[in-house]
A and B are shown apart, each in its own frame.
Chain A
Amino acid sequence: MPPLDKRIKKFLKDSIRIAPKISGKGELSELRTGLVSQYPQTRKDAIKKTIQQMTLGKDVSSLFPDVLKNIATIDVEQKKLVYLYVMNYAETHPELCILAVNTFITDAQDPNPLIRCMAIRTMSMIRVDKILEYIETPLRRTLHDDNAYVRKTAVICVAKLFQLNKDLCVELGVVEDLVNALDDSNPLVIANATAALIEIHNMDMDAVDLSSLIQSHVSQFLLALNECTEWARIIILGTLSEYSAKDSLEAQDIIDRVTAHLQHVNPAVVLATIKVIVRNLPQIEYSSNSLIMKRLSSAFVSLMSTPPEMQYVALKNIRIILEKYPELLTKELRIFYVKFNDPLYVKLEKIDILVRLVDPSNLKQCTLLLTELKEYAMEYEPEFVSRAIQALSQLGIKYAQESFVSKVLDILLELLERQDTIKDDCCISLCDLLRHCPGNDKMAKQVCAVFNTWSNPEVLLQSDIAKCNYVWLLGQHPNNFSDLESKINIFIENFVQEEALTQMSLLMTIVRLHATLTGSMLQSVLELATQQTHELDVRDMAMMYWRCLSMPNNESLVNDLCQNKLPMISNTLEKFSPEVLEKLLMELGTISSIYFKPDSNRRKGKKYVQNIVKGKHIEELESMAKNEISSKANDDVLLDFDERDDVTNTNAGMLNTLTTLGDLDDLFDFGPSEDATQINTNDTKAVQGLKELKLGGDSNGISSGGKNNPDVSGGNIVSQDLLDLF
């Protein structure tokens, strides 16, 4: 507690404060008055209120000259606010910034490193080439500043400058200074210089020979790794992961030097370290039991104790690495058990990893996972339950022993009895299991017995893929269904309303069973498929079947079509192609790894860059700036007389803004694997059918086909031909 007299002084001083305050209304006229007030405190208040309005999205660019008058201050906080204002309007009103050039140049030599940094940082972000020309001296000086804090900011400015004006960078030769910064004594400067060089390389691959730079600086990077910040480590590790070691000795050395960072507390550092190790693994001798594999497994396990967004990235990357190194994490199944409070996007990824990770030769492990997946299938989140049911069949198919598959089947049938919302998923999974064990009639009887009890399957099942599987089952095991024809007839009646997969499946089933079905059913479905449907694939398939069935001497062909046995499904887990896998391994930890899509646009230039204001002389720029300020001032005056809502300020810089709304349907392509699986199955059938098709040079066949044109005048001929089949 200060003495009484001091407290009295403070009280009196506050109560008679002379400097007027700025209200919170944010009116431009009041702000302008405050900005030029004789009282420093009022001016600072006005600057804060201006920034506040700017934050709220209001255009306060007309205040530019008044704000700028306050830039020459020794109050660091105030200077920061003015710089923020300038930087904000550097993008939308670059011409206005010409007025601040002198201050920037002065501040770039300020004794305070903080001020020097602010000046150089702001200058490098203004897209007016005449201003950029002033940057040479301050930039070069700060690149060699005696303060490392300033140097680490200056090296990033080179990348900014390169983006704005590549030719100027080349002319000034600052890229060479940037390369020299890789030998700086300070590790943070080294890391930022590396990041800047990578950015420049991404903008123009010819400007920087990145691979040879990395090669000549590997030892510096490894040394800096132990002394820099966590973010700098990520940059350096990311750079090392781009490097191909020249021999196994070097690869082993790199692995040995970076392995320590698997134990950094920042999960991004851990993942970046994993990436370097994975990059160098192919060049060294290792076994699945070696220490390095254990260390990698441990590192991945630890990433499961991080925030959910980070877990999400880690799970995606584990998925990639498991495909290359399936021996990893084989003893860590339980780490990926779903936690009750996990976000849904983590839960789904964990199930995917569990099914891939489980060892098919380990019965105990498979049994434990089976029990776990059953628990998940009884949860409440629809997407989670759906994925768990799919995983059950994936697990059964992976383990492959028929007794185990039978156990999975029993669980699925049990689940089917208790809930109505999972019929679609169970139907798909059960059919997958039957395709895996095509010769097991006992299992088929079990499944069909349950489906046989459904009175309205075309309504109970919701999705195209589920109906497709149900109809497929009718065709494969017709003897297990009572009232087979009425079940099929219901689908024929709704043929036009069904989707493509169901239509195709129905077509195949009826062709397969046509010898035992009522004759009109085949004719009905072929007519519907060739005349009523909008699906071209279905039309083509139906036409092909029609011609096959109409050919003379077609007994063996029809027999092949109707009696063929499908091959056994051995795997329903999606895999990457070898090319994609190798690319994804090079992009671990990136956004590419989240989408499993290699960055095909890698190292291409930016798509969206606003143009620099070029070709103007200083006087012209000043004139433009003053005119713009005048017009804004006029708007402000108008605000005093007209309705505010009627006044719309158009920013020239905004005209370049992209306003197109993309097609949202393309955004969320979660691509359910069931579709892929079923499409593959259909393709197999189609290919087999085509292979059996004997379309030689038989002139009679061609002639017969002609007779089958679906027109009214040929109706009798068509009927006659069809009747001849029986």
Chain B
Amino acid sequence: MASAVYFCDHNGKPLLSRRYRDDIPLSAIDKFPILLSDLEEQSNLIPPCLNHNGLEYLFIQHNDLYVVAIVTSLSANAAAIFTFLHKLVEVLSDYLKTVEEESIRDNFVIIYELLDEVMDYGIPQITETKMLKQYITQKSFKLVKSAKKKRNATRPPVALTNSVSWRPEGITHKKNEAFLDIVESINMLMTQKGQVLRSEIIGDVKVNSKLSGMPDLKLGINDKGIFSKYLDDDTNIPSASATTSDNNTETDKKPSITSSSATNKKKVNIELEDLKFHQCVRLSKFENEKIITFIPPDGKFDLMNYRLSTTIKPLIWCDVNVQVHSNSRIEIHCKAKAQIKRKSTATNVEILIPVPDDADTPTFKYSHGSLKYVPEKSAILWKIRSFPGGKEYSMSAELGLPSISNNEDGNRTMPKSNAEILKGPVQIKFQIPYFTTSGIQVRYLKINEPKLQYKSYPWVRYITQSGDDYTIRLT
């Protein structure tokens, strides 16, 4: 597949590399910065797959780095290469915390070790960080002379090539717990008039597994395709209460338990699309029996994600009005409304409204939150830390524009339309804890460890947030 993998700086110059085959010249990577600069001169269109002299350069960008794979054959699997490069960055992030030019230079020993294990002869091999950490460590094993201690030297774990290649044996936790965070990201494209052009919910079920031994888990959710088989199963799982005011989704704090009766009232089945599972889930079993069963890797991982593309009402809506006065100043009026239930609260709301590149002298009026002009983004940023459901907040801003004098004929220059003045849409970010737009509910999470037979505690939390494309067009 790949003949070599390179880490290059922001100009495309190689920092560190690993060649897996000798079917490309050593100087092949020297063409990469030339190709990049030539392309950048011509246009903004730089595809992630470049061709030069019979070689294919496939690359991704991460921080100030290019991660490049050079391939000799058009029949190579491009999807696998791009996915592998992203996975490689993920593995390095786990080891180095931050993957950038400086950390690449400073950690070449560990990177070389990893490059040996993740790929062999250009064929991806082992990219499970939790397994790699079993035998590729930051520490050096000290020299020992006795034959007895030699057996303690680093060796690959047996589980590495087992069918459970993501979980080593012998894991122990004092307290056996499993945390489920269901995070739904809302992507939405709206017009200024309030029309929803596109909306989708992308859900992630994130698991933090602190379970000993080799547990086998079974997850039940209220999906039409899954739940119908367990209609009579009344096992309820404790879930976070809406009354909890905990805003930190990263905390391991245990939320309080809601009542069973409240949960029973919400037995509504939903239909999830595009379920995607971590490789620990038994896909064939799910395909045939619609049961989600898995042996989890230890620690945090994404168990599954799903998508819904039903049309939904905007959760945070902004009515934005832009007026240009005689090409000398611009007025922006914005009303923000939280169109969610009153008992829910949106947090960390950020509304980014574009303004002209050459705007100056900002003045603001607003009822809640904080407002500031962000010239590097040609926008003003309105932050509202806590936005209760049903509330409506407003703001207005006025910015100066360089004046445009009349031309010699005495004709006044026509005012430009908003699209020519404002680059890009309004972008909104928010979080709404203890709330799922789709209505997904976890019915149960059964944890079974056949040997250890310990008592375990599952916890579930829900949150809705904006996705990477929650925007209102201004035209």
Contacts and interface: CB of A to CB of B under 8 A. Distances in A.
A305 B273 CA distance: 13
6 contacts: A125-B22, A230-B127, A265-B277, A312-B47, A597-B74, A602-B73
Contacts, number: 296
Contacts of A368: 197
Interface stretch (B81-89, B256-264, B362-370): B81-89
A127 B79 CA distance: 31
B107 to A, nearest CB: 11
A591 interface: yes
Q: How large is the interface on B (under 10, 10 to 19, 20 to 34, 35 or more residues)?
A: 35 or more
Contacts of A230: 127, 279
A591 B74 contact: yes
A48 B106 CA distance: 12
Contact of B469 (A266, A340, A372, A606): A340
Nearest to A419: B420
Given A344-B44, A667-B35, A302 B307 contact: yes
A55 B423 CA distance: 44
Interface of A: 40, 44, 48, 51-52, 55, 73-78, 80-81, 84, 91-92, 111-114, 117-118, 121, 125, 127, 147-149, 152-153, 156, 159-160, 163, 186-189, 192, 195, 199, 202, 226-231, 234-235, 238, 257, 259-261, 263-268, 270-272, 298-299, 301-302, 305, 307-310, 312-314, 332, 334-335, 337, 339-341, 344-345, 348, 368, 372, 375, 378, 380-383, 418, 587, 589-595, 597, 599, 601-602, 606-610, 654, 656-662, 664, 667-668, 670
A266 B125 CA distance: 14
Contacts of A80: 112-113, 116
B79 A310 contact: yes
A381 B44 contact: yes
B198 A226 contact: no
B439 interface: no
Interface string B304-325: 1101010000000000000000
Contact of A265 (B16, B84, B123, B279): B279
Contact of A664 (B38, B49, B160, B305): B38
B140 A113 contact: no
Contacts of A345: 45-48
A127 B19 CA distance: 15
B74 A92 contact: no
Contact of A595 (B74, B123, B197): B74
A-B pairs with the 9 shortest C-beta distances?
A: A260-B287, A148-B161, A227-B163, A231-B124, A260-B283, A599-B74, A268-B79, A302-B274, A268-B83
Contacts of B86: 307, 309-310
B141 A75 contact: yes
Interface of B: 15-16, 19, 21-27, 31, 35, 38-39, 42-54, 56, 58, 60, 71-80, 82-86, 108-109, 112-113, 116, 120-121, 123-128, 135, 140-144, 150-151, 153-156, 160-161, 163, 165, 187, 189, 197-198, 200, 202, 273-279, 282-284, 286-287, 302, 304-305, 307, 309, 417, 419-420, 423-425, 427, 468-469, 471, 473, 475
B276 A383 contact: no
B143 A74 contact: yes
Contact of A91 (B19, B85, B142): B19
Contact of A340 (B74, B155, B471): B471
- For A189, A266, A381, A382, the residue with the greatest tally of chain B CB atoms inside 10 Å of its CB is A266
B77 A238 contact: yes
Contacts of B52: 662, 664, 667
Nearest to A670: B45
A380 B423 CA distance: 8
B20 to A, nearest CB: 9
A591 B49 contact: yes
A610 B44 CA distance: 38
A264 B75 contact: no
Contacts of A266: 83, 279
B75 A606 contact: no
A156 B123 contact: yes
B53 A662 contact: yes
Contacts of A344: 44-46
A114 B156 contact: yes
A319 B125 CA distance: 31
B167 to A, nearest CB: 13
Among B141, B282, B287, the most chain A Cβ lie within 10 Å of the Cβ of B287
